[in-house]
Amino acid sequence: MNGFSFGPHLTSDGVAFRLWAPAAERVDLVLGDAAHAMEREPEGWFTCDIADLHAGARYRFRIDGDMEVPDPASSFQPEDISGPSEVIDHRSYTWRATEWRGRPWEDVVFLETHVGTFTPDGTYRAMIDRLDHLVETGITALELMPLADFPGRWNWGYDGALWYAPDSSYGRPDDLKALIDEAHLRGLMVFLDVVYNHFGPEGNYLGLYAPPFFTRTHTPWGIAIDYRVPEVRGFAVENALHWLRNYRFDGLRLDAVHAIDTADDLLLRDISIATGALARTSGRTIHLVLENDDNRASLLDPLGEPPAGKYRAQWNDDYHHAWHVLLSDERFGYYQDYQPPMPHIVRALEAGFAYQGEPSLHREGAFRGEPSANLPPTAFVNFLQNHDQIGNRALGDRLVCDPAALDAALAITLLAPMPPLLFMGEEWGATTPFPFFCDFHGDLAQAVREGRRREFKQAYETFGDDVPDPLAEATFARAKLDWQELQSPDGQRRHALIRKLLAVRQHEIVPNLRDAAFGEAGIESDGTLFASWSLGGELLTLTANLSTYPSARTVHSDSFIWGEPGPLAPWRVCWTMEGA
Protein backbone atom coordinates (compact mmCIF):
# COMPACT_ATOMS: atom_id res chain seq x y z
CA MET A 1 0.00 0.00 0.00
CA ASN A 2 1.30 3.47 -0.88
CA GLY A 3 2.13 5.82 1.97
CA PHE A 4 0.20 9.09 1.90
CA SER A 5 1.98 11.01 4.67
CA PHE A 6 -0.87 12.74 6.46
CA GLY A 7 -0.22 15.61 8.85
CA PRO A 8 2.62 18.16 9.17
CA HIS A 9 6.26 17.12 8.91
CA LEU A 10 9.30 18.98 10.20
CA THR A 11 11.87 19.62 7.51
CA SER A 12 15.46 20.87 7.68
CA ASP A 13 14.31 24.49 7.43
CA GLY A 14 10.65 24.52 8.51
CA VAL A 15 7.41 22.57 8.31
CA ALA A 16 5.67 20.86 5.36
CA PHE A 17 1.87 20.75 5.54
CA ARG A 18 -0.41 18.40 3.61
CA LEU A 19 -4.17 17.99 3.42
CA TRP A 20 -6.28 15.62 1.35
CA ALA A 21 -9.29 17.73 0.35
CA PRO A 22 -10.60 16.42 -3.00
CA ALA A 23 -13.83 18.46 -2.82
CA ALA A 24 -12.11 21.79 -2.10
CA GLU A 25 -11.27 24.36 -4.77
CA ARG A 26 -8.89 26.30 -2.53
CA VAL A 27 -7.20 25.62 0.81
CA ASP A 28 -5.23 28.16 2.83
CA LEU A 29 -2.90 27.41 5.72
CA VAL A 30 -3.72 29.83 8.52
CA LEU A 31 -0.91 30.73 10.92
CA GLY A 32 -2.09 33.36 13.38
CA ASP A 33 -3.37 36.28 11.28
CA ALA A 34 -1.50 35.16 8.15
CA ALA A 35 -2.95 32.94 5.43
CA HIS A 36 -0.79 31.01 2.96
CA ALA A 37 -2.30 29.58 -0.20
CA MET A 38 -1.64 25.86 -0.49
CA GLU A 39 -0.71 24.34 -3.83
CA ARG A 40 -3.23 21.94 -5.34
CA GLU A 41 -1.66 18.68 -6.47
CA PRO A 42 -3.09 15.60 -8.24
CA GLU A 43 -5.62 13.33 -6.49
CA GLY A 44 -6.98 16.11 -4.28
CA TRP A 45 -3.87 16.89 -2.21
CA PHE A 46 -2.94 20.40 -1.07
CA THR A 47 0.61 21.17 0.12
CA CYS A 48 2.50 24.09 1.60
CA ASP A 49 6.08 24.41 2.91
CA ILE A 50 6.76 27.15 5.45
CA ALA A 51 10.36 28.06 6.22
CA ASP A 52 11.58 29.08 9.68
CA LEU A 53 8.60 27.46 11.39
CA HIS A 54 9.13 25.15 14.36
CA ALA A 55 7.41 22.71 16.68
CA GLY A 56 4.83 24.48 18.80
CA ALA A 57 3.37 26.45 15.89
CA ARG A 58 -0.42 26.47 15.80
CA TYR A 59 -2.33 26.36 12.53
CA ARG A 60 -5.66 25.71 10.82
CA PHE A 61 -6.85 25.04 7.29
CA ARG A 62 -9.30 27.44 5.61
CA ILE A 63 -11.51 25.68 3.09
CA ASP A 64 -12.62 27.66 0.02
CA GLY A 65 -12.17 30.97 1.81
CA ASP A 66 -14.83 30.06 4.34
CA MET A 67 -14.65 27.60 7.24
CA GLU A 68 -11.46 27.13 9.25
CA VAL A 69 -10.89 23.56 10.42
CA PRO A 70 -8.24 21.67 12.42
CA ASP A 71 -5.90 19.25 10.71
CA PRO A 72 -7.60 15.80 10.60
CA ALA A 73 -4.13 14.36 11.29
CA SER A 74 -3.35 16.88 14.02
CA SER A 75 -0.77 15.66 16.53
CA PHE A 76 -2.20 17.80 19.33
CA GLN A 77 -5.16 20.09 20.06
CA PRO A 78 -4.21 22.32 22.99
CA GLU A 79 -7.52 24.26 22.76
CA ASP A 80 -9.82 21.24 22.28
CA ILE A 81 -11.18 19.62 19.19
CA SER A 82 -12.19 22.65 17.11
CA GLY A 83 -9.23 24.82 18.05
CA PRO A 84 -5.96 25.22 16.17
CA SER A 85 -3.68 22.24 15.70
CA GLU A 86 -0.15 22.26 17.09
CA VAL A 87 2.97 21.03 15.31
CA ILE A 88 4.69 18.38 17.46
CA ASP A 89 8.28 17.21 17.09
CA HIS A 90 8.04 13.52 17.95
CA ARG A 91 11.82 13.18 17.68
CA SER A 92 12.49 15.54 20.56
CA TYR A 93 11.49 13.23 23.42
CA THR A 94 14.46 11.50 25.05
CA TRP A 95 13.46 7.91 25.71
CA ARG A 96 14.96 6.22 28.76
CA ALA A 97 13.87 2.62 28.12
CA THR A 98 16.06 2.41 25.05
CA GLU A 99 16.57 -1.35 25.31
CA TRP A 100 12.86 -2.18 25.50
CA ARG A 101 11.67 -4.43 22.69
CA GLY A 102 8.44 -5.72 24.22
CA ARG A 103 7.32 -8.99 25.73
CA PRO A 104 5.93 -12.17 24.16
CA TRP A 105 2.17 -12.53 23.84
CA GLU A 106 2.12 -15.43 26.28
CA ASP A 107 3.13 -13.03 29.10
CA VAL A 108 0.11 -10.78 28.77
CA VAL A 109 -2.21 -10.02 31.71
CA PHE A 110 -4.25 -6.92 30.87
CA LEU A 111 -5.51 -4.16 33.12
CA GLU A 112 -7.92 -1.98 31.14
CA THR A 113 -7.93 1.63 32.32
CA HIS A 114 -9.47 5.01 31.58
CA VAL A 115 -6.87 7.75 32.03
CA GLY A 116 -9.31 10.36 33.29
CA THR A 117 -10.74 8.21 36.07
CA PHE A 118 -7.80 5.96 36.99
CA THR A 119 -6.40 8.58 39.38
CA PRO A 120 -7.86 11.64 41.15
CA ASP A 121 -5.88 13.94 38.83
CA GLY A 122 -6.86 12.01 35.71
CA THR A 123 -3.61 12.58 33.81
CA TYR A 124 -0.86 10.57 32.15
CA ARG A 125 1.67 11.82 34.70
CA ALA A 126 -0.54 10.81 37.63
CA MET A 127 -0.77 7.27 36.25
CA ILE A 128 2.98 6.87 36.57
CA ASP A 129 2.66 6.84 40.36
CA ARG A 130 0.41 3.74 40.12
CA LEU A 131 2.61 1.65 37.83
CA ASP A 132 4.38 -0.05 40.72
CA HIS A 133 0.99 -1.22 41.98
CA LEU A 134 0.40 -2.93 38.64
CA VAL A 135 3.75 -4.69 38.77
CA GLU A 136 3.21 -5.82 42.37
CA THR A 137 -0.21 -7.17 41.44
CA GLY A 138 1.13 -9.25 38.55
CA ILE A 139 -0.26 -7.15 35.71
CA THR A 140 1.99 -7.17 32.64
CA ALA A 141 0.02 -5.00 30.19
CA LEU A 142 -1.57 -1.61 30.82
CA GLU A 143 -4.37 -1.00 28.31
CA LEU A 144 -5.62 2.55 27.81
CA MET A 145 -9.11 3.30 26.58
CA PRO A 146 -9.09 5.55 23.46
CA LEU A 147 -7.12 8.79 23.61
CA ALA A 148 -8.02 10.34 20.23
CA ASP A 149 -9.10 13.96 20.76
CA PHE A 150 -12.74 14.25 21.79
CA PRO A 151 -14.95 17.29 22.44
CA GLY A 152 -15.11 18.64 25.97
CA ARG A 153 -13.38 17.79 29.22
CA TRP A 154 -14.43 14.18 29.81
CA ASN A 155 -15.39 11.26 27.60
CA TRP A 156 -14.98 7.48 27.44
CA GLY A 157 -12.86 8.08 24.34
CA TYR A 158 -15.03 6.43 21.70
CA ASP A 159 -16.19 9.85 20.45
CA GLY A 160 -12.73 10.81 19.18
CA ALA A 161 -12.74 12.76 15.91
CA LEU A 162 -9.05 13.66 15.55
CA TRP A 163 -7.43 10.24 15.62
CA TYR A 164 -3.77 11.31 15.75
CA ALA A 165 -4.06 13.73 18.70
CA PRO A 166 -3.99 12.40 22.28
CA ASP A 167 -6.62 14.39 24.16
CA SER A 168 -5.26 17.48 25.91
CA SER A 169 -7.37 16.92 29.04
CA TYR A 170 -4.90 14.19 30.07
CA GLY A 171 -1.70 16.12 29.33
CA ARG A 172 0.65 16.83 26.44
CA PRO A 173 2.13 14.26 24.03
CA ASP A 174 5.40 14.13 25.97
CA ASP A 175 3.42 13.30 29.11
CA LEU A 176 1.94 10.27 27.37
CA LYS A 177 5.40 9.24 26.20
CA ALA A 178 6.69 9.57 29.76
CA LEU A 179 3.93 7.24 30.99
CA ILE A 180 4.82 4.63 28.37
CA ASP A 181 8.54 5.07 29.02
CA GLU A 182 8.11 4.58 32.76
CA ALA A 183 5.92 1.52 32.14
CA HIS A 184 8.62 -0.01 29.94
CA LEU A 185 11.27 0.65 32.57
CA ARG A 186 9.15 -1.50 34.92
CA GLY A 187 8.67 -4.29 32.37
CA LEU A 188 5.08 -3.33 31.57
CA MET A 189 3.63 -3.44 28.08
CA VAL A 190 1.24 -0.63 27.11
CA PHE A 191 -1.68 -1.10 24.71
CA LEU A 192 -4.04 1.47 23.20
CA ASP A 193 -7.67 1.05 22.24
CA VAL A 194 -8.26 2.57 18.78
CA VAL A 195 -11.55 3.21 16.98
CA TYR A 196 -11.68 2.85 13.20
CA ASN A 197 -15.38 2.08 12.78
CA HIS A 198 -16.60 5.70 13.07
CA PHE A 199 -15.66 9.28 13.84
CA GLY A 200 -17.11 11.05 16.85
CA PRO A 201 -20.23 13.19 16.33
CA GLU A 202 -18.45 16.52 16.94
CA GLY A 203 -15.18 17.87 15.56
CA ASN A 204 -15.09 15.85 12.34
CA TYR A 205 -15.11 18.17 9.29
CA LEU A 206 -13.96 15.65 6.69
CA GLY A 207 -17.36 15.49 5.03
CA LEU A 208 -17.01 19.15 4.01
CA TYR A 209 -13.85 18.78 1.93
CA ALA A 210 -13.21 15.00 1.65
CA PRO A 211 -16.63 13.34 1.17
CA PRO A 212 -15.04 10.15 -0.26
CA PHE A 213 -14.19 9.32 3.37
CA PHE A 214 -17.77 8.12 3.87
CA THR A 215 -20.32 5.74 2.40
CA ARG A 216 -24.09 5.87 2.52
CA THR A 217 -24.12 2.98 4.99
CA HIS A 218 -25.00 3.78 8.58
CA THR A 219 -23.48 2.19 11.67
CA PRO A 220 -24.86 2.44 15.22
CA TRP A 221 -22.55 5.45 15.67
CA GLY A 222 -23.02 7.33 12.38
CA ILE A 223 -22.10 7.16 8.69
CA ALA A 224 -19.67 4.39 7.79
CA ILE A 225 -16.12 5.08 6.65
CA ASP A 226 -15.27 3.97 3.10
CA TYR A 227 -12.05 2.00 3.37
CA ARG A 228 -12.23 0.95 -0.27
CA VAL A 229 -10.75 4.39 -1.02
CA PRO A 230 -6.92 4.07 -0.79
CA GLU A 231 -6.43 7.49 0.84
CA VAL A 232 -9.03 6.70 3.49
CA ARG A 233 -7.49 3.33 4.23
CA GLY A 234 -4.07 4.95 4.34
CA PHE A 235 -5.32 7.48 6.91
CA ALA A 236 -6.22 4.68 9.33
CA VAL A 237 -3.13 2.55 8.63
CA GLU A 238 -0.83 5.54 9.17
CA ASN A 239 -2.72 6.29 12.37
CA ALA A 240 -2.01 2.81 13.72
CA LEU A 241 1.67 3.23 12.88
CA HIS A 242 1.65 6.72 14.42
CA TRP A 243 0.74 5.31 17.84
CA LEU A 244 3.10 2.37 17.56
CA ARG A 245 6.07 4.31 16.22
CA ASN A 246 5.88 7.79 17.78
CA TYR A 247 4.57 6.69 21.19
CA ARG A 248 6.03 3.17 21.26
CA PHE A 249 2.83 1.44 22.28
CA ASP A 250 3.34 -2.32 22.41
CA GLY A 251 0.01 -3.10 20.80
CA LEU A 252 -3.41 -1.93 19.73
CA ARG A 253 -6.90 -3.17 20.44
CA LEU A 254 -9.21 -2.38 17.49
CA ASP A 255 -12.70 -1.51 18.68
CA ALA A 256 -15.83 -3.16 17.19
CA VAL A 257 -14.35 -4.16 13.82
CA HIS A 258 -17.62 -5.89 12.92
CA ALA A 259 -18.97 -2.35 12.36
CA ILE A 260 -16.27 -1.47 9.81
CA ASP A 261 -17.77 -1.26 6.32
CA THR A 262 -14.98 -2.58 4.13
CA ALA A 263 -14.74 -5.22 1.42
CA ASP A 264 -12.44 -8.19 1.83
CA ASP A 265 -11.10 -7.02 5.20
CA LEU A 266 -8.85 -4.54 3.39
CA LEU A 267 -8.27 -2.30 6.39
CA LEU A 268 -7.63 -5.11 8.86
CA ARG A 269 -5.21 -6.78 6.48
CA ASP A 270 -3.28 -3.59 5.75
CA ILE A 271 -2.96 -2.59 9.41
CA SER A 272 -1.62 -6.02 10.31
CA ILE A 273 0.85 -6.12 7.41
CA ALA A 274 2.11 -2.59 8.10
CA THR A 275 2.50 -3.41 11.79
CA GLY A 276 4.43 -6.55 10.94
CA ALA A 277 6.79 -4.53 8.77
CA LEU A 278 7.37 -2.08 11.64
CA ALA A 279 8.04 -4.95 14.04
CA ARG A 280 10.61 -6.47 11.67
CA THR A 281 12.50 -3.26 10.98
CA SER A 282 12.52 -2.12 14.62
CA GLY A 283 13.18 -5.51 16.23
CA ARG A 284 10.15 -4.97 18.46
CA THR A 285 7.40 -7.36 19.52
CA ILE A 286 4.03 -5.77 18.68
CA HIS A 287 0.59 -7.24 19.33
CA LEU A 288 -2.77 -6.55 17.65
CA VAL A 289 -6.09 -7.50 19.27
CA LEU A 290 -9.66 -7.29 17.95
CA GLU A 291 -13.09 -6.69 19.34
CA ASN A 292 -15.39 -8.43 16.87
CA ASP A 293 -18.99 -9.41 17.58
CA ASP A 294 -18.93 -11.64 14.50
CA ASN A 295 -16.49 -14.13 16.14
CA ARG A 296 -14.30 -14.35 13.03
CA ALA A 297 -11.83 -17.07 14.01
CA SER A 298 -10.23 -16.83 10.55
CA LEU A 299 -8.80 -13.39 11.46
CA LEU A 300 -6.80 -14.74 14.41
CA ASP A 301 -3.27 -16.12 14.69
CA PRO A 302 -1.60 -15.66 18.07
CA LEU A 303 1.60 -17.41 16.96
CA GLY A 304 2.38 -15.30 13.88
CA GLU A 305 5.59 -13.33 14.46
CA PRO A 306 5.40 -10.65 13.34
CA PRO A 307 1.75 -10.12 12.31
CA ALA A 308 1.25 -10.70 8.60
CA GLY A 309 -2.40 -9.98 7.90
CA LYS A 310 -3.95 -11.48 11.04
CA TYR A 311 -4.37 -10.65 14.73
CA ARG A 312 -3.11 -12.15 17.95
CA ALA A 313 -6.46 -12.50 19.68
CA GLN A 314 -10.01 -11.30 20.17
CA TRP A 315 -11.88 -10.12 23.24
CA ASN A 316 -14.13 -13.08 24.02
CA ASP A 317 -17.53 -11.62 24.89
CA ASP A 318 -19.01 -15.14 24.93
CA TYR A 319 -16.91 -16.01 27.96
CA HIS A 320 -18.01 -12.90 29.82
CA HIS A 321 -21.70 -13.21 28.95
CA ALA A 322 -21.97 -16.82 30.08
CA TRP A 323 -20.24 -16.10 33.39
CA HIS A 324 -22.33 -12.99 33.96
CA VAL A 325 -25.54 -14.99 33.59
CA LEU A 326 -24.24 -17.65 35.98
CA LEU A 327 -23.15 -15.12 38.61
CA SER A 328 -25.98 -12.59 38.33
CA ASP A 329 -28.90 -14.54 36.78
CA GLU A 330 -29.55 -11.58 34.46
CA ARG A 331 -31.28 -12.61 31.24
CA PHE A 332 -32.09 -9.42 29.32
CA GLY A 333 -30.56 -8.25 26.02
CA TYR A 334 -27.71 -10.37 24.72
CA TYR A 335 -27.70 -12.40 27.93
CA GLN A 336 -30.74 -14.28 26.58
CA ASP A 337 -28.33 -16.13 24.27
CA TYR A 338 -26.56 -17.74 27.24
CA GLN A 339 -29.38 -19.70 28.88
CA PRO A 340 -28.45 -21.92 30.60
CA PRO A 341 -24.93 -20.56 31.09
CA MET A 342 -22.93 -23.69 31.91
CA PRO A 343 -22.88 -25.19 28.39
CA HIS A 344 -21.56 -21.88 27.08
CA ILE A 345 -18.86 -21.71 29.76
CA VAL A 346 -17.86 -25.26 28.88
CA ARG A 347 -17.62 -24.50 25.19
CA ALA A 348 -15.56 -21.35 25.81
CA LEU A 349 -13.15 -23.44 27.90
CA GLU A 350 -12.85 -26.23 25.34
CA ALA A 351 -12.96 -24.31 22.05
CA GLY A 352 -12.72 -20.52 22.51
CA PHE A 353 -15.98 -19.07 21.21
CA ALA A 354 -19.33 -20.25 22.52
CA TYR A 355 -20.98 -19.17 19.25
CA GLN A 356 -19.23 -20.76 16.28
CA GLY A 357 -21.93 -20.49 13.64
CA GLU A 358 -25.08 -21.08 15.68
CA PRO A 359 -28.18 -18.86 15.43
CA SER A 360 -28.45 -16.04 17.96
CA LEU A 361 -31.84 -15.35 19.51
CA HIS A 362 -30.71 -11.83 20.42
CA ARG A 363 -29.82 -11.23 16.76
CA GLU A 364 -33.21 -12.50 15.57
CA GLY A 365 -31.88 -15.88 14.50
CA ALA A 366 -28.84 -14.64 12.58
CA PHE A 367 -25.96 -17.11 12.51
CA ARG A 368 -22.91 -15.93 14.44
CA GLY A 369 -19.29 -17.04 14.56
CA GLU A 370 -16.82 -19.43 12.98
CA PRO A 371 -15.31 -22.69 14.30
CA SER A 372 -12.46 -21.83 16.66
CA ALA A 373 -11.27 -25.06 18.35
CA ASN A 374 -8.33 -25.33 15.95
CA LEU A 375 -6.86 -22.09 17.30
CA PRO A 376 -4.59 -21.99 20.36
CA PRO A 377 -6.24 -20.86 23.61
CA THR A 378 -4.04 -17.75 23.49
CA ALA A 379 -6.29 -16.38 20.70
CA PHE A 380 -9.02 -15.49 23.20
CA VAL A 381 -8.84 -12.66 25.76
CA ASN A 382 -11.13 -13.60 28.64
CA PHE A 383 -12.61 -11.31 31.28
CA LEU A 384 -15.39 -11.04 33.84
CA GLN A 385 -15.69 -7.24 33.60
CA ASN A 386 -14.61 -4.47 31.22
CA HIS A 387 -15.61 -0.90 30.41
CA ASP A 388 -18.49 -2.00 28.16
CA GLN A 389 -19.98 -4.58 30.48
CA ILE A 390 -19.96 -2.13 33.41
CA GLY A 391 -20.56 1.17 31.66
CA ASN A 392 -23.28 0.06 29.28
CA ARG A 393 -25.61 -0.41 32.22
CA ALA A 394 -27.96 2.32 33.40
CA LEU A 395 -26.18 2.75 36.73
CA GLY A 396 -22.69 1.79 35.58
CA ASP A 397 -22.55 -0.73 38.41
CA ARG A 398 -19.87 -3.39 38.66
CA LEU A 399 -20.49 -7.11 39.01
CA VAL A 400 -21.90 -7.93 42.45
CA CYS A 401 -22.44 -11.52 43.57
CA ASP A 402 -21.53 -14.02 46.29
CA PRO A 403 -17.83 -13.34 47.06
CA ALA A 404 -17.09 -17.08 47.00
CA ALA A 405 -18.62 -17.35 43.54
CA LEU A 406 -16.60 -14.41 42.25
CA ASP A 407 -13.42 -15.84 43.76
CA ALA A 408 -14.08 -19.07 41.87
CA ALA A 409 -14.70 -17.22 38.62
CA LEU A 410 -11.44 -15.31 39.06
CA ALA A 411 -9.51 -18.49 39.88
CA ILE A 412 -10.67 -19.98 36.59
CA THR A 413 -10.23 -16.83 34.48
CA LEU A 414 -6.73 -16.01 35.71
CA LEU A 415 -5.30 -19.53 35.51
CA ALA A 416 -6.85 -20.75 32.26
CA PRO A 417 -4.47 -20.64 29.25
CA MET A 418 -6.42 -17.77 27.68
CA PRO A 419 -4.97 -14.27 28.25
CA PRO A 420 -6.92 -12.60 31.09
CA LEU A 421 -8.12 -9.02 31.36
CA LEU A 422 -9.16 -7.10 34.47
CA PHE A 423 -10.88 -3.72 34.54
CA MET A 424 -9.24 -1.03 36.67
CA GLY A 425 -9.94 -1.60 40.36
CA GLU A 426 -11.21 -5.14 39.80
CA GLU A 427 -7.95 -6.37 41.29
CA TRP A 428 -9.15 -5.21 44.72
CA GLY A 429 -12.90 -5.55 44.18
CA ALA A 430 -13.56 -1.85 43.60
CA THR A 431 -17.16 -0.76 44.04
CA THR A 432 -16.69 2.50 42.14
CA PRO A 433 -19.25 2.64 39.32
CA PHE A 434 -18.18 3.35 35.76
CA PRO A 435 -21.23 5.01 34.16
CA PHE A 436 -21.25 6.40 30.65
CA PHE A 437 -20.13 10.04 30.53
CA CYS A 438 -19.40 12.73 27.94
CA ASP A 439 -19.14 16.53 27.79
CA PHE A 440 -21.31 17.50 24.83
CA HIS A 441 -23.42 20.64 24.67
CA GLY A 442 -26.59 21.89 22.98
CA ASP A 443 -28.64 19.63 20.74
CA LEU A 444 -26.03 16.86 20.78
CA ALA A 445 -26.11 16.72 24.58
CA GLN A 446 -29.89 16.50 24.57
CA ALA A 447 -29.81 13.78 21.91
CA VAL A 448 -27.47 11.71 24.11
CA ARG A 449 -29.80 12.13 27.12
CA GLU A 450 -32.84 11.11 25.11
CA GLY A 451 -31.01 8.16 23.60
CA ARG A 452 -30.00 6.86 27.02
CA ARG A 453 -33.56 7.24 28.27
CA ARG A 454 -34.85 5.17 25.36
CA GLU A 455 -32.16 2.52 25.81
CA PHE A 456 -32.69 2.22 29.57
CA LYS A 457 -36.37 3.05 29.79
CA GLN A 458 -37.08 0.40 32.44
CA ALA A 459 -34.15 1.51 34.57
CA TYR A 460 -35.31 5.14 34.49
CA GLU A 461 -38.78 3.98 35.54
CA THR A 462 -37.30 1.93 38.39
CA PHE A 463 -34.47 4.14 39.64
CA GLY A 464 -35.60 7.59 38.50
CA ASP A 465 -33.10 10.29 39.42
CA ASP A 466 -30.60 7.67 40.62
CA VAL A 467 -29.73 7.00 36.98
CA PRO A 468 -26.72 9.27 36.40
CA ASP A 469 -26.97 12.06 33.84
CA PRO A 470 -24.33 11.14 31.21
CA LEU A 471 -23.56 14.84 30.60
CA ALA A 472 -23.05 15.85 34.25
CA GLU A 473 -19.58 16.45 35.64
CA ALA A 474 -20.74 14.64 38.79
CA THR A 475 -21.19 11.47 36.72
CA PHE A 476 -17.59 11.68 35.53
CA ALA A 477 -16.44 12.36 39.11
CA ARG A 478 -18.32 9.30 40.40
CA ALA A 479 -16.34 7.10 38.02
CA LYS A 480 -12.96 8.03 39.52
CA LEU A 481 -11.39 5.09 41.32
CA ASP A 482 -11.38 5.24 45.10
CA TRP A 483 -7.89 3.95 45.85
CA GLN A 484 -8.67 3.96 49.58
CA GLU A 485 -10.80 0.86 48.98
CA LEU A 486 -7.59 -1.05 48.30
CA GLN A 487 -6.66 -0.58 51.99
CA SER A 488 -9.97 -1.91 53.33
CA PRO A 489 -10.15 -5.50 54.69
CA ASP A 490 -12.19 -6.61 51.68
CA GLY A 491 -9.84 -4.80 49.30
CA GLN A 492 -6.76 -6.37 50.89
CA ARG A 493 -8.31 -9.85 50.77
CA ARG A 494 -9.26 -9.61 47.08
CA HIS A 495 -5.93 -8.06 46.13
CA ALA A 496 -4.05 -10.84 47.91
CA LEU A 497 -6.09 -13.42 46.01
CA ILE A 498 -5.37 -11.77 42.64
CA ARG A 499 -1.66 -11.50 43.43
CA LYS A 500 -1.48 -15.20 44.35
CA LEU A 501 -3.36 -16.27 41.24
CA LEU A 502 -1.20 -14.18 38.94
CA ALA A 503 1.98 -15.43 40.61
CA VAL A 504 0.85 -19.01 39.92
CA ARG A 505 0.03 -18.02 36.34
CA GLN A 506 3.47 -16.53 35.82
CA HIS A 507 5.36 -19.49 37.27
CA GLU A 508 3.22 -22.46 36.20
CA ILE A 509 1.18 -21.46 33.13
CA VAL A 510 3.11 -18.85 31.14
CA PRO A 511 6.27 -20.93 30.50
CA ASN A 512 4.20 -23.55 28.64
CA LEU A 513 1.73 -21.33 26.75
CA ARG A 514 3.61 -21.18 23.46
CA ASP A 515 2.52 -24.74 22.68
CA ALA A 516 -0.92 -24.64 24.35
CA ALA A 517 -3.86 -26.42 22.75
CA PHE A 518 -7.48 -26.98 23.70
CA GLY A 519 -8.42 -30.32 25.22
CA GLU A 520 -11.75 -31.42 26.63
CA ALA A 521 -14.34 -29.81 28.89
CA GLY A 522 -17.71 -30.80 30.23
CA ILE A 523 -20.07 -31.26 33.16
CA GLU A 524 -19.95 -34.64 34.88
CA SER A 525 -23.00 -36.43 36.24
CA ASP A 526 -22.45 -35.02 39.73
CA GLY A 527 -22.37 -31.46 38.36
CA THR A 528 -18.59 -31.06 38.50
CA LEU A 529 -17.01 -28.86 35.84
CA PHE A 530 -13.87 -30.27 34.27
CA ALA A 531 -11.57 -28.99 31.54
CA SER A 532 -8.10 -29.78 30.28
CA TRP A 533 -5.51 -28.26 27.98
CA SER A 534 -2.23 -29.49 26.56
CA LEU A 535 0.61 -27.14 27.49
CA GLY A 536 3.67 -28.45 25.71
CA GLY A 537 4.50 -31.69 27.51
CA GLU A 538 2.17 -30.90 30.41
CA LEU A 539 -1.54 -31.51 30.99
CA LEU A 540 -3.34 -28.65 32.73
CA THR A 541 -6.59 -29.77 34.35
CA LEU A 542 -9.42 -27.81 35.97
CA THR A 543 -11.93 -29.34 38.38
CA ALA A 544 -14.56 -27.07 39.94
CA ASN A 545 -17.87 -27.02 41.75
CA LEU A 546 -19.69 -23.95 40.43
CA SER A 547 -22.73 -24.22 42.65
CA THR A 548 -23.96 -23.46 46.14
CA TYR A 549 -24.24 -27.17 46.96
CA PRO A 550 -21.48 -29.50 48.21
CA SER A 551 -20.34 -32.05 45.66
CA ALA A 552 -19.92 -35.74 46.39
CA ARG A 553 -16.67 -35.52 44.45
CA THR A 554 -13.35 -35.69 46.30
CA VAL A 555 -10.27 -34.42 44.48
CA HIS A 556 -6.98 -36.27 44.85
CA SER A 557 -3.72 -35.34 43.13
CA ASP A 558 -0.02 -34.91 43.76
CA SER A 559 0.14 -32.11 41.17
CA PHE A 560 -1.95 -29.25 42.52
CA ILE A 561 -0.98 -25.74 41.43
CA TRP A 562 -4.16 -24.28 42.94
CA GLY A 563 -6.38 -25.88 45.57
CA GLU A 564 -5.76 -28.93 47.72
CA PRO A 565 -7.05 -32.49 48.14
CA GLY A 566 -10.48 -33.00 49.63
CA PRO A 567 -14.20 -32.75 48.88
CA LEU A 568 -15.42 -30.18 46.37
CA ALA A 569 -17.18 -27.65 48.55
CA PRO A 570 -19.42 -25.02 46.95
CA TRP A 571 -17.51 -22.74 44.52
CA ARG A 572 -14.28 -24.65 45.03
CA VAL A 573 -11.73 -24.58 42.18
CA CYS A 574 -8.79 -26.97 41.77
CA TRP A 575 -6.04 -26.83 39.16
CA THR A 576 -3.43 -29.51 38.52
CA MET A 577 -0.45 -29.72 36.18
CA GLU A 578 1.18 -33.02 35.37
CA GLY A 579 3.12 -34.70 32.61
CA ALA A 580 0.93 -35.61 29.68
Residue 154 near residue 116 (C-beta atoms within 8 A): yes
Sign for the CA dihedral angle at 115, 119, 121, 127 comes to negative
Active site residue 578: no
Tell me the helix, strand and coil percentages in the chain, rounded to 5.
Answer: 35, 25, 40
- Given the residues 181, 255, 265, 485, the one annotated as active site: 255
Amino acid, res. 538: E
Active site residue 364: no
Closest listed residue to residue 479, CA positions, set 114, 80, 70: 114
User: Residue 100: CA atoms inside 13 Å, Cβ hemisphere, count?
Assistant: 22
Residue 361: what are its φ and ψ, rounded to 5°? -60, -40
Q: Please return the burial class of 151, using the count of CB atoms within 10 Å of its CB with bins 0-12, 13-18 and 19+.
A: buried
Q: Please return the burial class of 98, using the count of CB atoms within 10 Å of its CB with bins 0-12, 13-18 and 19+.
A: exposed
Give the CA distances from residue 207 to residues 45, 83, 148, 161, 250, in Å, rounded to whole numbers and listed in that order.
15, 18, 19, 12, 32
- Given the residues 181, 250, 291, 301, the one annotated as active site: 291
Which residues, 6+ apart, have CB-to-CB distance to 478 below 8 Å?
Answer: 396, 432, 433, 435, 468
Alpha-carbon 83 to chain mean position: 27
Give the CA distances from residue 79 to residues 85, 208, 306, 443, in Å, rounded to whole numbers and listed in that order.
8, 22, 38, 22
Alpha-carbon 355 to chain mean position: 21
Q: How far apart are CA 397 and CA 271, in angstroms?
A: 35
| Beta strand pairing call for 420-423 and 380-383 | parallel
- DSSP assignments along 491-530, one per residue: HHHHHHHHHHHHHHIIIIIGGGGGGEEEEEEEE-TTS-EE
Show the DSSP H helices in 265-423 as ranges: 266-282, 317-328, 341-351, 387-391, 403-415
Q: How far apart are CA 551 and CA 181, in angstroms?
A: 50
Tell me the catalytic residues: 255, 291
